[in-house]
Amino acid sequence: MTQSNVPHAPGGVPAPDLQAILLVGGQGTRLRPLTINTPKPLLPTAGVPFLAHQLARARSFGVSRVVFATSYRAEMFEEVFGDGAGFGLSLAYVTEETPLGTGGAIRNAARGLTCGPDAPVLIFNGDVLSGHDIADQVRMHVDRDAAVTLHLAEVEDPSAFGCVPTDDEGRVTAFLEKTPDPVTNRINAGCYIFKRSVIDTIPEGEVVSVERQTFPGLIDAGALVLGYADRSYWLDVGTPAAFVQGSSDLVLGRLASPALPGAPGEHLALAGSDVSPQAKVEGGSVIGARATVAAGACVSGSVLGDDSVVAAGAVVTDSVIGTGARIAEGAVVRGAVIGDHAVIGPRNELPPGTRVWPGITLPDCAIRVSSEL
């Protein structure tokens, strides 16, 4: 790919011809039962697999080759994305036979890179939505000849995260654990630019954490580790609530994505879906292919899987409804995860946090007090 073919990044300047490593090895246990049969990065999000948004956005910043660092259900990624031609990318797949941690996974996947030792390499996580300017992060990294440049998200409440302080010149000075009294509101956002040769210093075949070992080790050795801080959109979609929010935000246009199949709006209805004119569908909801929303039903801020049904008078809010699942007449589902082909019988009222496993049927007016079913 020549520089003239690189799409312009939001800053108006083409990013360098980048190669990248995409970390997609996690099992997504916080999102079960959605991830029992599907890796978290492949879950339908705003009408397409989650990673489609990341790949399309990476391509828009000049990324030409992406190496998938896979582990859990590794074969599914190539089945979905193939050689990457549909995204204008070259894709490679490297699997961890045993979990190697973030640093070990990066080192293992680096054998799929083809760039030289001084080239910048983008590392990003398969469970994060971000609106930051990757091209600007790369420019900062290259201009200052850094070993690593980390994206630091500025959040309202950093106490739930470890924080990353920097000095006046943007140099990272420490990686601090979670604390009720953080020294900065900047957190590790999970997107890094490595100099290719620095990746090769990570021990091969060993379990290594970049947060606890690689980055602190580089700082101690005097290497230049920079922080690229901003307050753009950022979301870790690792929980059901965050997953639903991320999908809704994409549909509503709060975060732009080249992969969104349609224009932003109150809802996205996929091919073959049937939404009654007498139904209310809003809040960035996605209605899956061949799914049905009957008259009098209300769906808000939710993801309905393919072939699912929300019957007359049912209410679904901030929830995920699996493939082929059915929400019967008058049922109320709020902040819940309903597995594939599960049936929520008439007049059930499921509280936030409920998770119904695939194939389970809740009878008419069943009384449920547990947060996990």
Domains of the chain, by residue range, sit at: 3-240, 266-362
- pLDDT for res 7: 33
Task: Give the DSSP letter of residue 142.
Answer: H
Residue whose structure tokens are 């036979």? 97
pLDDT at residue 16, rounded to an integer: 52
Q: Three-state DSSP class for 250?
A: helix
- What's the confidence (pLDDT) of residue 180? 78
- For position 175, what pLDDT does the model report? 86
Tokens of 91: 């894709």
Sheet holding 315-317, edge to edge: 280-282, 298-300, 315-317, 332-334, 349-350
For residue 4, the model assigns a pLDDT of 27
SS3 216: helix
Residues with pLDDT less than 50, the chain: 1-15, 367-373
Q: What one-character DSSP code corresponds to residue 211?
A: I
Entry pTM = 0.87
Task: Say which CATH class 266-362 falls into.
Answer: mainly beta
3-240 fold: Spore Coat Polysaccharide Biosynthesis Protein SpsA; Chain A (3.90.550)
Taking Cα atoms as reference points, which of 312, 319, 313 lies closest to residue 333? Answer: 319
Query: Residue 222: how many CB atoms within 10 A of its CB?
Result: 8
Question: Residues 338, 352: contact at Cβ < 8 Å?
Answer: no
- pLDDT at position 365: 66
